[in-house]
Structures are given as structure tokens and as C-alpha cells.
Amino acid sequence: MSNETEILSRIENIMKKNKKGLSISDIATKLKLNRNSTSKYLSILKAKGRVEMVKYGPAKVFFPCERTPIISLLNITSEGILVLDRKLRVKNVNETFILMFHLSKKELINKNLNKSQIPIFNNPKFQKSLFRALRGDESELEIKMESNSGTSYFQINFIPISFDGGKPGVVLCIKDITDRKKTELELSKSEEQYRVIIESIGDPIFVLDIDYNIIFYNKAMDEWLKDLGLDRIKLNRSLFENFSFIKYKKKEIIGRYQDAIANKKPIININHTKINENKSIVTETRKIPVFHNEKIIQIITIIRDITDQYKAEQKLKESEELFRTITEQNDLGIGIHRKGNFSYCNKAFANITGFQVEEILNWKYEDLLEIIHPDDIPKIKKISQEILLEKKIKEIKLSYRIITKQGDIKRIKHFSKPIKHAKGLSRLMSIVEITPIKEIDQKITEQQYEFEKVILNNQRNVLF
């Protein structure tokens, strides 16, 4: 044994003088030993951690080991450290471990690990990883521990080592990850609640990561795609891979997402999208950026299919344009009002009353009454009150006098009927000036009266 110790010592001295490294043959020459014996002694030193070996092709080159002794590292790490021999006896322990588990060094040194009364060491997964480490396999394990003080979580690294003499051992690096784990669990809970909320929203929704990959979508989205005859979303694939029909405007779409991210607030866009030769849709898309610690992590996209609404609005717009074309080219004064508040009147209406269109659109019920001739106000008020009280009056036909803005008195014929309008049940009214007709009627009546007087006088003269 003393001869072996002497040879090992000689090899270490040789290595210290040749820090650039030596091959087995070089060391054997200096020792004046055969190559096989030298290789055996080098293996012992390597197992003890006294020398290091590096392969250069087929050659093995040995260097003096310059590793820091493990004992000097124990108390400068934030992790709990336990050094075990092959019989699972505690050979060393640092202060972090002692504080972590509220034990004393005396209770641990040279005691079997299984008698330490620390719950995590009895865990079957821990035992399996420990024995694997004794066979040279390094591994990592997360373990949950229940105790009187609550639930704790630990991350344990199992690192195989060799003691002097080449006997195996294990270093356990134990990190308390309770705070991190609880945060992860809270985040997981929040994520679950967040998904429940998204599922409960009736509009189609999908969620993008920062690389524009779809990482989640709700049932409404799935059903909407099915109604459109489109394929289901493939998770963790890009937005443009899932919806190839929008690739042609990829730059525009990404630009809108980037606007939402830059402004740190939702943006709404109206999109006209051609799905195929026979199908186009109109959508209102709300892009909502999600930030964590000032860093973008996700973008929620909410879609409202407004195709039917858009088509209806287009038809309404066409109808309104046709209505305006007809009314603006008509000599009839035409207006739409609800309880005396006008939402529309044409130029002819303005010309008859002597007011500007803008003035009439600001009228209230009282303003409408002001243009009525005082003698005709009672009958107008009666009808107006019934309209204001929303009594069932289908159609109104009457004539009355108005006083224009310029002070002229005009006689008009009035016709109105109820209509359904954007602002509720309204009345469509039309007016036409009949003053000249009334004047002619008046003259005919007067002339007829004079003629009858002449006839009557003539008859008297004949009789007498």
C-alpha cells in the first residue's frame, strides 16, 4: 500500500512540474514503469479528482487538477448542500441547508440520510434519483413537501462525485422554490380564469403570442369558422398559416397589431376580406395587447362578423340616396319630423317657408307653431297634441296659412303619415303652396257674387 501511495505522490509531483499536460507514455517514461501500470495509477488519481484528462484524437493527455475543493464552496452558495457517501451518510452540510430545515450540524454529520426525518427524503422519486446518482447519473427533481408550517417546493440536483480512494458519493444541491412555485400556480389559476372568461364571450376570439402564432381560441371562433366553411385553427401555427386568404395583406395586418402594441391600448378596425371567389365578409376586429411588467406577452383578437349589418347599411344608404335624389328634384316641400323635431327637409320645403334648411333642422315643436297663422293655430294645435301624445293618427290632410320668415302669408296644403325611421316612429310630411289657387277661387266667388247681384237687380227692374 505504501508503494502505491508513493507512486501516486510521484505522479502528482510530475504533473505539477508539467502543467501543459503529459501523455500516459510520457508519465510512464518518467516513472520508469510500464504503460499499463501507469494508466492504472492515473485512473486512481482521476477518480480522486487529483488529475484531469483531455482527449486529443486517440491520445489521452493528463493535467494537474486545479478544481476548487468542494468544502470551500459550501457556504458561498445560496442553495442547501449535502455531501453523501455511498452508504448515504452525511459527510458535509452547509449553513443554508441547516437554516432551510431548522436542524443542527450535529444532528446530520455521519448520520444516515433516511434517519433525518426530513419528509422529502422519503419520497420514492427522490430515492430513485439518489441511487441513480450513486451509479453516476446526474439528474434534477422538483418535490413538494407538506409540513406543519405549510406547503413547500424544492428543486434538487443530484451530482455524482468520487471520494479519495475512488468511492462514489453524491452531492445534493437543494433550492427552495416555494415562492416561485406559488407564483406559477397563481398564474396558472389566473390563466384558467382568463380562458373561462374568453370562452364565455359570445364573439369569436383568438389569442396570439408575440410571434403572431395562435395559442388559444374559444368555441365561438371554432363555430364561426365552421359556418364559413373554413378549417379549424391549428394551435401554435402562425395567423397567416391558419388563414392563408389574408396573406396578401400580411404587412397591413401586422402594422395594425404593432400600432396596438405601441399605443398600449386596444384598436378597432373594419376589415373587408375575400375568403374565396364566392365569399366575402366584413368584420369589426378589436386587437387588445396584454402586457406583463411593461413587456408585451399576448394579443387578444375579438371578431364581430358585421357582414349582414354592412349589407343592410349599404342598402339603407342606397335607399337614402334615392330618397334624396327624388325629394331634391321635387317641387313638393318634404320633411321628416318626430314630435316637431326635424331630421330632414328638402330645399322646396325651405323655399315655401322662407327659412334655410339648417334652421329648420334645428326647429323644436314651438318653432313649428310660430310659422302658423294665428287664426289657424287652434286646429293645428289639436292635431299636434294628438300626435305628441302618440295617439293613432294614420294620415292627415288639411290646409292652413303660414307666415314665412319674410312675413308673407301663404296658404298651403299639408299631407302627412307615420313612418318608421332611424330615430323611431316619425312623420313624413309634404306641403305645397296653394295661395294662387285660393286667390283665383276667391276672385271667381266675388265675381259670381257681383254677377248674381246684377241679375237680381235686372229681374227687379223687369218686374216693376
What's the rounded Cα separation, in Å, for the pair 356 and 324? 17
Provide the b/e sequence for 166-182 (b: ≥16 CB within 10 Å).
eebbbbbbbbbbeeebe
What's the rounded Cα separation, in Å, for the pair 370 and 364? 10
Q: Percent of the chain at pLDDT above 70?
A: 87
Q: Binning pLDDT at 50, 70 and 90, where does residue 66 land? A: low
Closest CA to 176 of 273, 79, 250: 79
Name 350's Cβ contacts closer than 8 Å, sequence gap at least 6.
333, 356, 357, 360
Per the structure block, which three cell numbers stand in for 243? 388563414
Q: Percent of the chain at pLDDT above 90?
A: 33
Q: What is the model's pLDDT at position 69?
A: 55
Which comes out higher in pLDDT, residue 190 or 102? 102
Q: Binning pLDDT at 50, 70 and 90, where does residue 393 land? A: low
- Give the 3-state DSSP-derived string for 265-320, with helices as H, strands as E and coil as C: CCEEEEEEEEEECCEEEEEEEEEEEEEECCEEEEEEEEEEECHHHHHHHHHHHHHH
Per the structure block, which three cell numbers stand in for 111? 448520520
Give the best-scoring range by mean pLDDT among 59-63, 257-261, 272-276: 257-261
Q: Mind listing the domains of the chain with CATH numbers?
A: 2-64 (1.10.10.10), 70-176 (3.30.450.20), 187-310 (3.30.450.20), 329-433 (3.30.450.20)
Q: Binning pLDDT at 50, 70 and 90, where does residue 423 land? A: low
User: Which residue is it, cell 372568461?
Assistant: 197
- Model pTM score: 0.44
Q: Binning pLDDT at 50, 70 and 90, where does residue 445 land? A: low
